[in-house]
Every structure is written in C-alpha cells, then in structure tokens.
C-alpha cells in the first residue's frame, strides 16, 4: 500500500538490495542484463529512491538554503529564479526563505535551514552589522555564500558587483555629459550595498571633480515614495545640481515622477541616474540611464561556488567573485555637454 522500497524492487528482480542500489545509482558496475531487470522492476513498481534514507546513510543531503531580504524586490526575485534553475539542473533542491528585512527573522531562518541539514546557505544579509552574529554562528556548521550584500567581519565566500567600478563608470558618463555638481539619493546605509555605493559615489565625485555637497546627500527608504520625497526636498533647497545619482532604480523612478510633478524637465534641467536596471523602463515615459546588475552572472557564479563547496574538493579559503557592472545609457542623461 505504501510506497515501494528498495526491497520490493530487489524481490521482484530476484537480486539483493545492494545490487538494486548499484544498478540504479551506477555507483558500481552491474552486469548489463541484471541492470535491465532491475530497471524494469523499478519501473513497474513506480519506485523512486527515498532521498531521506539516502541522506541519512550518506550523511549528506542535496538541499541548499537561500535567504533573501525581500521577495518584492525584482533584483532578488530574478536572483532566486536564476539560482533555482541552475540548482535543479544539478538535482539540488532549493529551500527558500525571506527575512523580510528583519534581523530576528533572518536568524530564525538560519536555524531552520540548519535543522533541515542543508549543505550550503546562500544569503544576502539584511543588515551590515546586526546580521553578523547569527551568520558567524551558523558559519561554523554549514558553508555560507554571501550574495550582493555582506555582513561585517563574516569571512565567507562572496559574490557581487564591483560597486566602485560601477560608480566610476557612471560618473565618468555624466561628467562627459557636462555634470559638474551632483546630488546623491540612496537607502539609509544599514545594508552593505547602500553604504558601499554611497562611499563609491563620494570617492568618484571627488576624483573626477564633481561637487557633491553633504547637504545634497539624502538617505531614506529604497522605494518610489522615498525617491519622490527626496526630489521634493532637493527642489526646495535652492539650485538644482547637474545630476541626481540614485542608489537604486526604484528611487530613481520616484525622483523622475517627483520632478515631473514639479515641472522640472529631465534631462534638460537635471540628469537622473539609477542603479540595478530593473525592468520598469517599458512602463515609464522617460527611460532611465542606469547600471545593470548582471543578475544571471551572479546566480551562475553563486551556483558554481555551491558546486565547489558540495564537491569533495578540500576546504579552501573564502573566495570573492567580483562581477563587472554594465552602464546602460538611456534618455535620462541624454544631454550634450
């Protein structure tokens, strides 16, 4: 009545359970005709090996866990999809968790994944500092790969974008289009990418001779509303800068909308840039110049580390895969110098 087991197959095929195991997994050679017999018996019973029993015996599963801060953010969604797809090709199951941007939930999910005996955890930590403790604890028992963001002092593998190079490329572009003054609108700097992008923007403005007044650095929430509010504040504070650099596309779309409402013309009165290249361009009247996150390449790099970690290769020191950004020039900076 219950599901067929390996002994059922063995009995039907007239061999031992060991032979069934070998025939089906190919772990050891089995005579051709025996193999066929076993296969036939398995098929006729609709047998599928119980992965629980296999995992117990082998002391390893084929599960990996993944924790992202926010599934309503297309960046993470696409990342999850890219990872899922590649893992399935490797016959690895994905246990997905969302931390909802909450460090407490994040810690809970980590423990839950640990109980599930996952082989590797992929995580985009939600807070640069507060996530660190839980991550360090878990990292003692299961290999971690940090993606995009990272937690302070947690030495694990990491896959992400070269934010510094991205900002350099971006600022070089707007300088070529005549920018001499800039504003920066970003997320409050509690996650590592928000901070690293801001740091990079500051450094590059300095290096390339663009004035970025501290009062023109506005940090808030990474949402359309946050961007719109910031554009409002910016317009009230006197002269507009040549360019508004946004730390994320959603912010930039809010800024575009805010300027539109205020009758400020982009790019004629002010240029605007984004970061991420989420697929909203098709929705808006004015297309956005931005930095494309190579999401698929990030997923690929992450999964390749997973393979590495799950293989029998000897332990190695943590490795950082730094991916190259791509500048996408569109209308929001379409201005002659």
Partner DNA sequence: GTGAAAGCGCTAACAA
Partner DNA sequence: TTGTTAGCGCTTTCAC
Which window, 26-34, 103-111, 125-133, 153-161, contacts DNA (CB under 7 A)? Answer: 26-34
**Angle 295-310/74-89 helices, nearest 10 degrees?**
40
- Minimum distance of a copy of itself from residue 118's CB (angstroms): 9
DSSP assignment string, 80-92? HHHHHHHHHHTT-
Rg (CA), the chain: 26
Integer Cα distance of 194 and 247 in angstroms: 7
Integer Cα distance of 171 and 184 in angstroms: 12
Site for DNA in 36-95 (CB under 7 A): 47, 49-50, 53-54, 56-59
115 makes contact with DNA (CB under 7 A): no
203 makes contact with a copy of itself (CB under 8 A): no
Residue 28 site contact among a copy of itself, DNA, none (CB < 5 to 8 Å, cut-off depends on kind): DNA
Residue 29 site contact among a copy of itself, DNA, none (CB < 5 to 8 Å, cut-off depends on kind): DNA
* Residue in 22, 86, 109, 197 binding a copy of itself, rule: CB under 8 A: 109
111 makes contact with DNA (CB under 7 A): no
Q: Reduced to 3 states, what is the DSSP secondary structure of residue 222? A: coil
116 makes contact with a copy of itself (CB under 8 A): yes
- End-to-end CA distance of the chain: give it in Å, rounded: 77
* Residue in 24, 145, 194, 250 binding DNA, rule: CB under 7 A: 24
Sheet containing 271-273: order of strands: 217-220, 182-187, 243-246, 271-273
Question: Residue 139 region, left (φ>0) first, then alpha (ψ -120 to 50), else beta?
Answer: alpha
102 makes contact with a copy of itself (CB under 8 A): no
Applying CB under 8 A, the residues found at the interface with a copy of itself are 3, 48-53, 55-56, 61, 63, 71-72, 74, 77-78, 80-81, 84-85, 88, 91, 93-98, 100, 108-109, 111-117, 141, 224-225, 253-254, 257, 260, 279-280, 282-285
């Amino acid at each position: 009545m219950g599901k067929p087991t390996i002994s059922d197959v063995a009995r039907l095929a007239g061999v031992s359970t060991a032979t069934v195991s070998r025939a089906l997994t190919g772990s050891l050679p089995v005579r051709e005709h025996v193999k066929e017999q076993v296969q036939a018996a398995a098929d006729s019973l609709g047998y599928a090996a119980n992965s629980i029993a296999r995992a117990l015996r082998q002391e390893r599963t084929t599960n990996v866990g993944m924790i992202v801060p926010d599934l309503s953010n297309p960046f993470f969604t696409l990342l999850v999809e890219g990872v899922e797809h590649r893992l399935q090709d490797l016959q690895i199951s994905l246990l997905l968790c969302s931390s909802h941007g909450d460090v407490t939930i994040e810690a809970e999910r980590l423990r839950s994944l640990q109980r599930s005996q996952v082989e590797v955890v992929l995580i985009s930590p939600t807070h640069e500092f507060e996530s660190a403790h839980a991550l360090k604890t878990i990292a003692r028992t299961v290999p971690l790969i940090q993606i995009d963001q990272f937690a302070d002092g947690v030495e694990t593998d990491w896959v992400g974008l070269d934010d510094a190079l991205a900002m350099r490329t971006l600022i070089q572009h707007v300088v070529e289009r005549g920018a001499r003054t800039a504003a920066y609108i970003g997320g409050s700097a509690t996650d590592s990418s928000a901070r690293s992008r801001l740091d990079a923007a500051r450094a590059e403005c300095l290096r390339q001779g663009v004035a970025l007044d501290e009062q023109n650095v506005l940090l808030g929430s990474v949402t359309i509303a946050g961007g719109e509010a910031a554009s409002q504040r910016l317009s009230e504070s006197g002269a507009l800068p040549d360019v508004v650099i946004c730390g994320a596309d959603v912010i930039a779309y809010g800024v575009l909308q805010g300027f539109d409402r205020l009758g400020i013309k982009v790019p004629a009165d002010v240029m605007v840039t984004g970061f991420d290249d989420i697929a909203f361009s098709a929705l808006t009247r004015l297309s956005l110049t931005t930095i494309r996150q190579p999401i698929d390449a990030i997923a690929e790099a992450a999964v390749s580390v997973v393979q590495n970690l799950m293989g029998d290769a000897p332990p190695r020191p943590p490795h950082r895969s730094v991916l190259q950004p791509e500048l996408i020039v569109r209308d929001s900076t379409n201005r002659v110098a």
